[in-house]
Amino acid sequence: MTEAMLEVENLKKYFKVGKQALKAVDEVTFSVKKGETLGLVGESGSGKSTLGRTIVGLNEPTGGKLLFEGKDVRNLNKKERKNYNRIVQMIFQDPHASLNPRMKVGDIIGEGIDAHRLASGKERMDRICTLLERVGLHAEHAKRYPHEFSGGQRQRIGIARALAVEPKFIVADEPISALDVSIQAQVVNLMEDLQRDLGLTFLFIAHDLGMVKHISDRIGVMYLGGFMELADSGDLFSEPLHPYTQALLSAIPVPSTSKGSKRERIILKGDPPSPISPPSGCRFRTRCPHAMDVCASAVPEWKEVRPQHWAACHLY
């Protein structure tokens, strides 16, 4: 088994809303292995973006442990912390909002190189040009502004910016959700190429289950701040254990009219409850078709139901 690059133990991130706590991420435990892509799926408000931002360091965790290559990220000294900020990078969802409209593309990509003093002068410019070409753009594009590019091209610029500081671990927060279908495939292929060539590790956050299945080695399913299930992507799709995962998979509309592709659909009732006052016991029980008495009284244990297949559900 390959070593874990990132280990998350009982991680919590609460936000204060008035006098109450919004438990955006609540007691989450998982690890990301070196060189793999871990997909993270869940609906809006499930905490997947907060989790990604907390790992990158944009949020300070409320509790729990975050170990990167065996070291506790919360106890790093200043120099180590700066290095962590370099080797862990993020790609954002909205390519229109995540690039500074007043900066030239070359400077957007070069900002990280400057901050970490990785190169200067001609070497810096060469590096920027190489990066632009690596993500499928041209060296001349360095002199242009973000508004001159399409959504897909901007996302490539965002990827180049993340790569500029030679990261090891990239959190991609819905990197393709804002793009058109035909462009999504271009960006996904680029990310796969980069991973293969540069040995990157990805945490890929998305709500499009089809794409997540395609790009991920393993997938974690989140609901209302907690993990419901975690398994190899093949296993998760062929044998989903958690009722929420089953409903989520059955809800994807399949682009085919042939009878063979029509599956039994599980329609969940109602909306996800508020994360400020989540249900007692299992957080999914209010919408779960299999809810039992025990689900209201006890929080289901996060356990390895089958080898390498984790779930938090009283059915198992």
Asked if 209 interacts with other proteins (CB under 8 A), we say: yes
Is residue 90 a contact partner of residue 161, using CB atoms and an 8 Å limit?
no
* Residue 165, CA distances (Å) to 5, 12, 127, 156, 205 in order: 18, 28, 10, 15, 21
Asked if 77 interacts with other proteins (CB under 8 A), we say: no
To other proteins, the closest distance from the beta carbon of 265 in angstroms equals 6
Q: Which region holds residue 30: left if phi is over 0, alpha if psi is between -120 and 50, else beta?
A: beta
Q: Is the dihedral of CA 16, 48, 164, 37 positive or negative?
A: positive
Asked if 115 interacts with other proteins (CB under 8 A), we say: no
**Which of 18, 101, 253, 307 touches other proteins (CB under 8 A)?**
253
For residues 194 and 178, give the distance between their C-alpha atoms in angstroms, rounded to a whole number: 21
To other proteins, the closest distance from the beta carbon of 11 in angstroms equals 23
**Which of 180, 293, 301, 304 touches other proteins (CB under 8 A)?**
180
Footprint on residues 43-72 left by other proteins (CB under 8 A): 43-44
The piece of 24-32, 84-92, 245-253, 290-298 that touches other proteins (CB under 8 A) is 245-253
**Which of 87, 118, 125, 188 touches other proteins (CB under 8 A)?**
188
In 3-state terms, what secondary structure has residue 191?
helix
Tell me whether residue 151 or residue 279 sits nearer to other proteins (CB atom).
151
To other proteins, the closest distance from the beta carbon of 31 in angstroms equals 22
Asked if 214 interacts with other proteins (CB under 8 A), we say: yes
Q: Is the dihedral of CA 238, 242, 246, 249 positive or negative?
A: negative
For residues 307 and 162, give the distance between their C-alpha atoms in angstroms, rounded to a whole number: 35
For residues 82 and 61, give the distance between their C-alpha atoms in angstroms, rounded to a whole number: 18
Is residue 57 a contact partner of residue 84, using CB atoms and an 8 Å limit?
yes
Binding residues for other proteins, how many (CB under 8 A)?
Answer: 41
Structure tokens at 255: 């682009």
What is the CB neighbour count within 10 angstroms for residue 6?
A: 22
To other proteins, the closest distance from the beta carbon of 50 in angstroms equals 16
Asked if 197 interacts with other proteins (CB under 8 A), we say: no
Question: How would you label 154-186 residue by residue, b for 16+ Cβ within 10 Å and e otherwise?
Answer: bbbbbbbbbbbbebbbbbbbbbbebbeeebbeb
Question: Taking the mean position of all CA atoms in its chain, how far away is CA 256?
Answer: 28
Asked if 238 interacts with other proteins (CB under 8 A), we say: yes
Asked if 247 interacts with other proteins (CB under 8 A), we say: yes
Asked if 258 interacts with other proteins (CB under 8 A), we say: yes
The piece of 65-73, 83-91, 181-189, 298-306 that touches other proteins (CB under 8 A) is 181-189
**Which of 17, 97, 198, 252 touches other proteins (CB under 8 A)?**
252
Footprint on residues 123-162 left by other proteins (CB under 8 A): 150-153
Asked if 94 interacts with other proteins (CB under 8 A), we say: no
For residues 170 and 199, give the distance between their C-alpha atoms in angstroms, rounded to a whole number: 11
* Residue 23, CA distances (Å) to 80, 121, 167, 215, 245 in order: 29, 47, 30, 29, 21
Pattern 267-286, binding to other proteins, x per CB under 8 A?
xx--x---------------
To other proteins, the closest distance from the beta carbon of 90 in angstroms equals 23
Tell me whether residue 98 or residue 184 sits nearer to other proteins (CB atom).
184
Residues at the contact surface with other proteins, assessed by CB under 8 A = 43-44, 150-153, 180-186, 188-189, 192, 207, 209-211, 213-214, 234, 237-238, 247-248, 250-258, 261, 265, 267-268, 271
